[in-house]
Amino acid sequence: MDVVKKRSTWILKFEQSEEKNKIINKISVEEMASKFIEEDHPTILIDGRPLDLILNDLFPNELLLGLIPMITDWISLEEETKLVEDVYEANQELKILPILMCPDDCDLSCTLVVAEVETIHDQIKWLRIGIDMNNPKELIEQNRFFETNVKWLNNMSAMTFSKDDYKSLDKIYRKNN
């Protein structure tokens, strides 16, 4: 009995120390050119690297290089802009958020990368990232993004951000910001 109690205490202490020592990724938005857009535009950086480059390195066959953030000022259709803004602003513990789009069309019908986002206390986690295959009209009608019909990109680690750093995404998700 004593050994079991000591072991469970050690496990609890280990889990608590692991919780405190979690790796926090740095997220920021910087102005820079991308593969298909020569002028500087908002670009999501994770630990100092553009997100589309990270995804391309991990999944070169998915053609993700050159995708741009969901810059709401650039989205073609007003109802799509409203949906993206609403989802970003929603105070849900768990949600699917579009993070990258095709620069050719700037809408929800072309290549669209989404993240499953979890908000816990002072941290935001991207649990997984995938390519959305949903019909944009259904997304607008339901006023949300779905976890179904997403081709989740396996072998990608979750990313954890501080809420303060995460606010840098306001430059993308809030119109005229």
Calpha distance 54→7 (Å, rounded)? 40
DSSP code for 13: H
Longest dimension (CA), the chain: 67
Return the beta strands (E) in 60-162 as ranges: 68-69, 94-101, 112-120, 123-132, 150-152, 159-162
pLDDT at residue 3 tops 50: no
Q: Which two tokens stand for residue 47?
A: 């630990």
List the one residue out of 92, 120, 73 whose CA is nearest residue 84: 73
List the one residue out of 127, 76, 124, 64 whose CA is nearest residue 100: 64
Contact by Cβ (8 Å): 59, 153: yes
pLDDT at residue 60 tops 60: yes
pLDDT at residue 14 tops 80: no
Confidence (pLDDT) at 11:
40
Counting every residue, how long is the chain?
A: 177
pLDDT digits (tens, 9 = 90+) for 92-148: 999 999 999 999 989 999 999 999 999 998 999 999 999 999 999 999 998 889 888
Sign of CA dihedral 96, 97, 100, 101: positive
Domain ranges across the chain: 2-173
Task: Count the Cβ atoms, other than its own, within 10 Å of residue 95.
Answer: 18
Sole residue written with tokens 């608590």: 16
Query: Which residues have a Cβ under 8 Å from the Cβ of 124 and sit 6 or more positions away?
Result: 117, 118, 160, 161, 162, 163, 166
Calpha distance 177→171 (Å, rounded)? 5
> Where does the pLDDT of residue 8 fall: very low under 50, low under 70, confident under 90, or very high at 90 and above?
very low
Confidence (pLDDT) at 18:
44
- What's the pTM? 0.84
